[in-house]
Amino acid sequence: MYPIPESDRRRFRAYRMPAEWEPHQATYLVWPHNRDTWPGKFELIPAAFARIAAAIALCEPLRLIVEDDGEIGAVRAMVRAAARGDDAVMRRIEIFALATNDSWVRDHGPIFVNRIDPVAPGPAQIALDWKFNSWGEKYGRFDLDDVVPQRLAARFGFEVVEPGIVLEGGSIDSNGAGSLLTTESCLLNRNRNPKLTRVDIEDYLRTYLGAINILWLGEGIVGDDTDGHIDDLARFVARDTVVTVVEEDPADANYKVLRDNLARLATMRDERGGPLRVERLPMPPPVVHEGARLPASYANFYIANGGIVMPTFNCPADQIAAQTLVRLFPSRRVVGVPSDDLIWGLGSIHCLTQQHPAAPIKV
Protein backbone atom coordinates (compact mmCIF):
# COMPACT_ATOMS: atom_id res chain seq x y z
CA MET A 1 0.00 0.00 0.00
CA TYR A 2 1.61 3.22 -1.17
CA PRO A 3 1.24 6.12 -0.98
CA ILE A 4 0.15 6.19 2.67
CA PRO A 5 -3.47 7.32 3.09
CA GLU A 6 -3.76 10.92 4.24
CA SER A 7 -6.21 9.78 6.92
CA ASP A 8 -3.45 7.62 8.47
CA ARG A 9 -0.96 10.48 8.28
CA ARG A 10 -3.30 12.73 10.21
CA ARG A 11 -4.33 10.11 12.73
CA PHE A 12 -0.89 8.80 13.63
CA ARG A 13 0.62 12.24 14.30
CA ALA A 14 -0.65 11.74 17.84
CA TYR A 15 1.15 8.39 18.35
CA ARG A 16 4.67 7.13 18.98
CA MET A 17 6.30 3.76 19.60
CA PRO A 18 7.37 3.51 23.28
CA ALA A 19 10.84 2.42 24.32
CA GLU A 20 11.10 -1.15 25.55
CA TRP A 21 12.04 -0.02 29.06
CA GLU A 22 8.75 1.86 29.48
CA PRO A 23 6.09 0.05 31.56
CA HIS A 24 4.50 -3.06 30.07
CA GLN A 25 1.03 -4.51 30.44
CA ALA A 26 2.45 -7.91 29.56
CA THR A 27 4.88 -9.89 27.42
CA TYR A 28 3.89 -12.33 24.66
CA LEU A 29 5.78 -15.62 24.28
CA VAL A 30 4.94 -18.50 21.92
CA TRP A 31 5.81 -21.95 23.27
CA PRO A 32 8.04 -23.91 20.83
CA HIS A 33 6.37 -26.43 18.54
CA ASN A 34 8.05 -26.21 15.11
CA ARG A 35 10.66 -28.97 15.15
CA ASP A 36 12.18 -27.73 11.89
CA THR A 37 13.38 -24.61 13.72
CA TRP A 38 15.72 -26.59 16.00
CA PRO A 39 16.50 -29.75 13.98
CA GLY A 40 18.04 -32.44 16.14
CA LYS A 41 17.83 -30.27 19.29
CA PHE A 42 14.13 -29.65 19.73
CA GLU A 43 13.86 -31.77 22.89
CA LEU A 44 16.23 -29.34 24.65
CA ILE A 45 14.29 -26.21 23.72
CA PRO A 46 11.15 -26.29 25.94
CA ALA A 47 13.33 -26.17 29.07
CA ALA A 48 14.95 -22.95 27.79
CA PHE A 49 11.54 -21.47 27.10
CA ALA A 50 10.39 -22.40 30.60
CA ARG A 51 13.35 -20.48 32.04
CA ILE A 52 12.56 -17.47 29.86
CA ALA A 53 8.91 -17.60 30.91
CA ALA A 54 9.77 -17.82 34.61
CA ALA A 55 12.29 -14.97 34.36
CA ILE A 56 9.79 -12.66 32.67
CA ALA A 57 6.96 -13.56 35.05
CA LEU A 58 9.17 -12.56 37.97
CA CYS A 59 8.70 -9.01 36.67
CA GLU A 60 5.41 -8.72 34.81
CA PRO A 61 2.40 -10.58 33.40
CA LEU A 62 3.19 -13.13 30.71
CA ARG A 63 0.80 -14.15 27.95
CA LEU A 64 2.05 -17.57 26.93
CA ILE A 65 0.70 -18.98 23.66
CA VAL A 66 0.50 -22.74 23.02
CA GLU A 67 -0.70 -24.74 20.04
CA ASP A 68 -3.77 -26.29 21.66
CA ASP A 69 -5.57 -26.45 24.98
CA GLY A 70 -4.27 -29.96 25.63
CA GLU A 71 -0.75 -28.61 26.17
CA ILE A 72 -1.62 -26.11 28.86
CA GLY A 73 -1.20 -28.41 31.86
CA ALA A 74 2.19 -29.77 30.80
CA VAL A 75 3.51 -26.34 29.85
CA ARG A 76 2.35 -24.87 33.14
CA ALA A 77 4.13 -27.66 35.01
CA MET A 78 7.40 -27.00 33.15
CA VAL A 79 7.26 -23.29 33.86
CA ARG A 80 6.36 -23.92 37.51
CA ALA A 81 9.44 -26.12 37.84
CA ALA A 82 11.61 -23.40 36.28
CA ALA A 83 10.05 -20.88 38.68
CA ARG A 84 10.78 -23.25 41.61
CA GLY A 85 7.12 -23.42 42.46
CA ASP A 86 6.78 -19.68 43.06
CA ASP A 87 3.02 -19.09 43.19
CA ALA A 88 3.41 -15.34 42.69
CA VAL A 89 5.22 -15.98 39.43
CA MET A 90 2.64 -18.47 38.23
CA ARG A 91 -0.23 -16.09 38.96
CA ARG A 92 1.28 -13.66 36.46
CA ILE A 93 1.13 -16.23 33.63
CA GLU A 94 -1.86 -16.66 31.35
CA ILE A 95 -1.57 -19.69 29.05
CA PHE A 96 -3.91 -19.97 26.08
CA ALA A 97 -4.11 -21.66 22.68
CA LEU A 98 -3.56 -19.86 19.40
CA ALA A 99 -2.24 -21.55 16.25
CA THR A 100 1.08 -20.25 14.90
CA ASN A 101 3.68 -21.43 12.41
CA ASP A 102 6.61 -20.67 14.70
CA SER A 103 7.67 -18.96 17.92
CA TRP A 104 9.25 -15.70 16.70
CA VAL A 105 6.57 -13.37 18.05
CA ARG A 106 8.98 -10.40 18.04
CA ASP A 107 8.70 -10.44 14.26
CA HIS A 108 5.10 -11.48 13.59
CA GLY A 109 3.38 -10.11 16.69
CA PRO A 110 1.74 -6.70 17.14
CA ILE A 111 3.86 -3.56 17.52
CA PHE A 112 2.14 -0.99 19.71
CA VAL A 113 2.12 2.79 19.51
CA ASN A 114 0.84 5.02 22.30
CA ARG A 115 -0.96 8.33 22.01
CA ILE A 116 1.35 11.18 23.02
CA ASP A 117 -1.18 13.96 22.51
CA PRO A 118 -3.49 13.84 25.55
CA VAL A 119 -6.34 15.69 23.81
CA ALA A 120 -6.18 14.00 20.41
CA PRO A 121 -9.17 11.85 19.45
CA GLY A 122 -8.83 8.09 19.24
CA PRO A 123 -7.74 5.23 21.50
CA ALA A 124 -4.87 5.59 23.93
CA GLN A 125 -3.05 2.78 22.13
CA ILE A 126 -3.09 1.15 18.68
CA ALA A 127 -1.49 -2.14 17.59
CA LEU A 128 0.20 -2.18 14.20
CA ASP A 129 -0.14 -5.33 12.16
CA TRP A 130 2.69 -5.19 9.65
CA LYS A 131 2.86 -7.89 6.98
CA PHE A 132 5.06 -10.86 7.82
CA ASN A 133 6.65 -12.90 5.01
CA SER A 134 9.05 -15.18 6.90
CA TRP A 135 12.08 -12.91 6.48
CA GLY A 136 11.81 -12.75 2.70
CA GLU A 137 9.99 -16.08 2.24
CA LYS A 138 13.02 -18.04 3.42
CA TYR A 139 11.08 -20.81 5.14
CA GLY A 140 7.75 -22.63 4.93
CA ARG A 141 4.24 -21.46 5.64
CA PHE A 142 3.76 -18.19 7.51
CA ASP A 143 0.01 -17.70 7.09
CA LEU A 144 -0.78 -18.33 10.76
CA ASP A 145 2.00 -16.06 11.98
CA ASP A 146 0.86 -13.26 9.70
CA VAL A 147 -2.53 -13.03 11.44
CA VAL A 148 -1.30 -13.25 15.04
CA PRO A 149 -1.87 -9.52 15.75
CA GLN A 150 -5.48 -9.78 14.60
CA ARG A 151 -6.13 -12.87 16.69
CA LEU A 152 -4.54 -11.37 19.79
CA ALA A 153 -6.62 -8.24 19.26
CA ALA A 154 -9.78 -10.35 19.20
CA ARG A 155 -8.79 -11.92 22.52
CA PHE A 156 -7.53 -8.85 24.37
CA GLY A 157 -9.66 -6.14 22.81
CA PHE A 158 -7.16 -3.71 21.31
CA GLU A 159 -7.48 -1.84 18.02
CA VAL A 160 -5.36 -2.96 15.06
CA VAL A 161 -4.24 -1.00 12.00
CA GLU A 162 -2.47 -2.56 9.01
CA PRO A 163 0.18 -0.25 7.48
CA GLY A 164 0.36 -2.58 4.47
CA ILE A 165 4.10 -3.33 4.15
CA VAL A 166 6.45 -6.02 5.43
CA LEU A 167 8.27 -5.17 8.65
CA GLU A 168 9.51 -7.29 11.56
CA GLY A 169 9.74 -6.17 15.16
CA GLY A 170 13.36 -7.27 15.47
CA SER A 171 14.36 -4.88 12.70
CA ILE A 172 13.62 -1.71 14.69
CA ASP A 173 14.47 -0.30 18.11
CA SER A 174 12.91 2.84 19.60
CA ASN A 175 14.06 5.24 22.30
CA GLY A 176 10.45 6.29 22.90
CA ALA A 177 11.18 9.93 22.03
CA GLY A 178 11.26 9.73 18.24
CA SER A 179 14.64 8.12 17.47
CA LEU A 180 14.61 4.74 15.76
CA LEU A 181 17.51 2.36 15.07
CA THR A 182 17.42 0.00 12.09
CA THR A 183 19.67 -1.50 9.39
CA GLU A 184 20.06 -1.04 5.68
CA SER A 185 20.67 -4.74 5.09
CA CYS A 186 17.21 -5.66 6.40
CA LEU A 187 14.76 -2.84 5.76
CA LEU A 188 16.15 -2.05 2.31
CA ASN A 189 16.37 -5.71 1.28
CA ARG A 190 14.43 -6.39 -1.91
CA ASN A 191 12.93 -9.55 -0.38
CA ARG A 192 10.67 -7.43 1.84
CA ASN A 193 9.24 -4.46 -0.05
CA PRO A 194 10.85 -4.48 -3.51
CA LYS A 195 8.85 -1.52 -4.84
CA LEU A 196 9.73 0.83 -1.98
CA THR A 197 12.77 3.09 -1.80
CA ARG A 198 14.67 4.14 1.32
CA VAL A 199 12.66 7.37 1.32
CA ASP A 200 9.41 5.38 1.13
CA ILE A 201 10.43 3.12 4.03
CA GLU A 202 11.35 6.13 6.13
CA ASP A 203 7.94 7.61 5.33
CA TYR A 204 6.27 4.55 6.87
CA LEU A 205 8.48 4.67 9.96
CA ARG A 206 7.76 8.35 10.47
CA THR A 207 4.03 8.02 9.86
CA TYR A 208 3.15 4.90 11.87
CA LEU A 209 5.86 4.76 14.55
CA GLY A 210 6.32 8.48 15.21
CA ALA A 211 9.97 8.36 14.18
CA ILE A 212 11.50 11.79 13.65
CA ASN A 213 15.11 10.62 13.69
CA ILE A 214 15.93 7.41 11.80
CA LEU A 215 19.39 5.97 12.46
CA TRP A 216 20.68 3.50 9.88
CA LEU A 217 23.33 0.91 10.67
CA GLY A 218 24.80 -1.29 7.96
CA GLU A 219 24.89 -5.08 8.02
CA GLY A 220 24.13 -7.80 10.52
CA ILE A 221 26.25 -10.50 12.09
CA VAL A 222 27.25 -13.79 10.50
CA GLY A 223 24.53 -16.44 10.66
CA ASP A 224 21.65 -13.99 11.03
CA ASP A 225 18.96 -15.26 8.65
CA THR A 226 16.91 -12.08 9.15
CA ASP A 227 19.29 -10.11 6.90
CA GLY A 228 20.57 -8.06 9.80
CA HIS A 229 18.04 -7.38 12.54
CA ILE A 230 19.00 -4.51 14.81
CA ASP A 231 18.34 -6.55 17.96
CA ASP A 232 21.52 -8.55 17.35
CA LEU A 233 23.57 -5.38 16.90
CA ALA A 234 22.60 -2.31 18.89
CA ARG A 235 19.86 -1.33 21.36
CA PHE A 236 18.67 1.83 22.99
CA VAL A 237 19.09 1.58 26.76
CA ALA A 238 18.16 5.22 27.48
CA ARG A 239 16.84 8.10 25.41
CA ASP A 240 20.36 9.21 24.40
CA THR A 241 22.28 5.95 24.94
CA VAL A 242 22.87 2.94 22.71
CA VAL A 243 24.66 -0.26 23.64
CA THR A 244 26.26 -2.10 20.74
CA VAL A 245 28.17 -5.37 20.35
CA VAL A 246 31.84 -5.12 19.37
CA GLU A 247 34.17 -7.88 18.18
CA GLU A 248 37.78 -7.41 19.35
CA ASP A 249 39.39 -10.09 17.15
CA PRO A 250 40.36 -8.65 13.74
CA ALA A 251 40.37 -12.17 12.31
CA ASP A 252 36.72 -12.78 13.25
CA ALA A 253 34.15 -12.59 10.45
CA ASN A 254 32.09 -10.09 12.45
CA TYR A 255 34.94 -7.67 13.13
CA LYS A 256 34.58 -5.33 10.14
CA VAL A 257 30.78 -5.27 10.19
CA LEU A 258 30.62 -4.38 13.86
CA ARG A 259 33.42 -1.80 13.58
CA ASP A 260 31.50 -0.14 10.74
CA ASN A 261 28.36 0.01 12.87
CA LEU A 262 30.36 1.37 15.82
CA ALA A 263 31.81 4.11 13.60
CA ARG A 264 28.34 5.04 12.36
CA LEU A 265 26.99 5.28 15.89
CA ALA A 266 29.86 7.59 16.86
CA THR A 267 28.62 10.17 14.33
CA MET A 268 24.90 9.88 15.08
CA ARG A 269 22.71 12.31 16.97
CA ASP A 270 19.55 11.85 18.96
CA GLU A 271 16.25 13.54 18.08
CA ARG A 272 17.33 16.68 20.00
CA GLY A 273 20.57 16.96 18.04
CA GLY A 274 22.86 15.79 20.83
CA PRO A 275 25.51 13.08 20.34
CA LEU A 276 24.59 9.54 21.24
CA ARG A 277 26.33 7.99 24.21
CA VAL A 278 27.64 4.65 22.93
CA GLU A 279 28.27 1.74 25.31
CA ARG A 280 29.83 -1.58 24.30
CA LEU A 281 28.95 -5.21 24.83
CA PRO A 282 31.38 -8.00 23.98
CA MET A 283 30.63 -10.71 21.48
CA PRO A 284 30.74 -14.31 22.70
CA PRO A 285 33.24 -16.64 21.06
CA PRO A 286 31.87 -18.16 17.84
CA VAL A 287 29.01 -20.58 18.45
CA VAL A 288 29.09 -23.24 15.74
CA HIS A 289 26.76 -26.21 15.20
CA GLU A 290 26.94 -28.69 12.34
CA GLY A 291 29.50 -26.43 10.69
CA ALA A 292 27.27 -23.36 10.78
CA ARG A 293 28.22 -20.12 12.57
CA LEU A 294 25.20 -19.09 14.63
CA PRO A 295 24.07 -15.50 15.37
CA ALA A 296 24.99 -15.47 19.06
CA SER A 297 24.87 -11.94 20.46
CA TYR A 298 24.44 -10.37 23.87
CA ALA A 299 22.44 -7.55 22.25
CA ASN A 300 19.50 -9.95 22.06
CA PHE A 301 18.39 -9.24 25.62
CA TYR A 302 14.82 -8.40 26.65
CA ILE A 303 13.85 -5.49 28.91
CA ALA A 304 10.98 -6.39 31.23
CA ASN A 305 9.42 -4.41 34.08
CA GLY A 306 12.16 -4.45 36.71
CA GLY A 307 14.29 -7.02 34.91
CA ILE A 308 16.60 -7.86 32.01
CA VAL A 309 16.57 -11.36 30.53
CA MET A 310 19.79 -11.97 28.60
CA PRO A 311 21.25 -14.89 26.65
CA THR A 312 24.37 -16.59 27.96
CA PHE A 313 26.76 -18.89 26.10
CA ASN A 314 28.83 -20.65 28.78
CA CYS A 315 31.92 -18.49 28.34
CA PRO A 316 33.80 -15.75 30.26
CA ALA A 317 32.16 -13.04 28.14
CA ASP A 318 28.84 -13.90 29.83
CA GLN A 319 30.00 -12.20 33.02
CA ILE A 320 31.28 -9.10 31.21
CA ALA A 321 27.98 -8.74 29.34
CA ALA A 322 25.95 -9.23 32.53
CA GLN A 323 28.02 -6.67 34.43
CA THR A 324 27.54 -4.18 31.59
CA LEU A 325 23.77 -4.62 31.64
CA VAL A 326 23.69 -4.33 35.44
CA ARG A 327 25.52 -1.02 35.13
CA LEU A 328 23.22 0.24 32.37
CA PHE A 329 20.05 -0.90 34.17
CA PRO A 330 20.88 -0.46 37.87
CA SER A 331 17.25 -0.70 38.99
CA ARG A 332 16.55 -3.97 37.16
CA ARG A 333 17.48 -7.54 37.98
CA VAL A 334 19.60 -9.16 35.24
CA VAL A 335 18.80 -12.84 34.66
CA GLY A 336 20.82 -15.00 32.27
CA VAL A 337 19.28 -17.86 30.30
CA PRO A 338 21.67 -20.42 28.72
CA SER A 339 21.17 -20.09 24.97
CA ASP A 340 23.73 -22.40 23.37
CA ASP A 341 20.93 -24.70 22.19
CA LEU A 342 18.34 -21.96 21.71
CA ILE A 343 20.53 -20.12 19.19
CA TRP A 344 20.44 -23.14 16.87
CA GLY A 345 17.02 -21.75 15.88
CA LEU A 346 18.92 -18.64 14.65
CA GLY A 347 17.39 -16.37 17.27
CA SER A 348 17.39 -15.78 20.99
CA ILE A 349 15.47 -14.16 23.83
CA HIS A 350 14.56 -10.81 22.29
CA CYS A 351 13.52 -12.52 19.05
CA LEU A 352 11.13 -14.75 21.02
CA THR A 353 9.39 -12.02 23.04
CA GLN A 354 7.16 -9.06 22.26
CA GLN A 355 6.12 -6.45 24.77
CA HIS A 356 2.63 -5.03 25.17
CA PRO A 357 3.33 -1.54 26.52
CA ALA A 358 1.13 -0.01 29.17
CA ALA A 359 -1.37 2.34 27.58
CA PRO A 360 -1.34 6.00 28.59
CA ILE A 361 -4.29 7.28 30.56
CA LYS A 362 -6.77 8.82 28.15
CA VAL A 363 -7.88 12.35 29.03
Q: Which of 35-44, 312-321, 354-363 has the lowest mean pLDDT?
A: 354-363
Q: Give residue-wise pLDDT tens across range 208-235.
A: 999 999 999 999 999 999 999 999 999 9
| Mean pLDDT computed over 334-347 | 98
For 237, the enclosing helix (H) or strand (E) is strand 234-238
| Mean pLDDT computed over 135-160 | 97
Asked if residue 3 has a cis previous peptide bond (ω within 30° of 0), the answer is yes
Local confidence band at 133 (pLDDT 50, 70, 90 cut-offs): very high
Tell me: pLDDT of 88 over 70: yes
Among residues 144, 152, 115, which one has the least CA distance to residue 354? 152
Local confidence band at 362 (pLDDT 50, 70, 90 cut-offs): low
In a domain, 363, yes or no: no
Q: What distances in angstroms separate CA 11 from CA 71, 123, 180, 199, 268, one per listed residue?
A: 41, 11, 20, 21, 29
3-state secondary structure of 354: strand
Residues of the domain holding 194:
6-357
| Mean pLDDT computed over 270-290 | 97
**How high is the pLDDT of residue 319?**
98
| Mean pLDDT computed over 278-293 | 97
Rounded CA-CA distance 30/97 in Å is: 10
In a domain, 362, yes or no: no
| Mean pLDDT computed over 147-162 | 98
Angle at 320 between CA 316 and CA 326, to 5 degrees: 140
Angle at 311 between CA 168 and CA 51, to 5 degrees: 100
**How high is the pLDDT of residue 81?**
98
In a domain, 1, yes or no: no
111-115 vs 125-128, strand pairing mode: antiparallel
Q: How many domains does the chain have?
A: 1
**How high is the pLDDT of residue 120?**
86
| 22, 116 Cβ separation under 8 angstroms | no
Burial class (CB in 10 A: 0-12, 13-18, 19+), 341: middle
Instruction: Tally the residues of the chain.
Output: 363
In a domain, 276, yes or no: yes
**How high is the pLDDT of residue 361?**
79
| Mean pLDDT computed over 33-45 | 97
| Mean pLDDT computed over 96-103 | 98
| Mean pLDDT computed over 124-138 | 97
For 337, the enclosing helix (H) or strand (E) is strand 333-338
**How high is the pLDDT of residue 6?**
96
**How high is the pLDDT of residue 105?**
98
**How high is the pLDDT of residue 1?**
58
**How high is the pLDDT of residue 2?**
72
**How high is the pLDDT of residue 363?**
54
Tell me: pLDDT of 310 over 90: yes
Tell me: pLDDT of 74 over 70: yes
CATH number where 166 lies: 3.75.10.10
| Mean pLDDT computed over 146-158 | 98
CB atoms < 10 A from the CB of 282, how many? Answer: 19
Local confidence band at 263 (pLDDT 50, 70, 90 cut-offs): very high
What is the set of active-site residues?
351
Local confidence band at 119 (pLDDT 50, 70, 90 cut-offs): confident
Q: Give residue-wise pLDDT tens across range 165-184.
A: 999 999 999 999 999 999 99
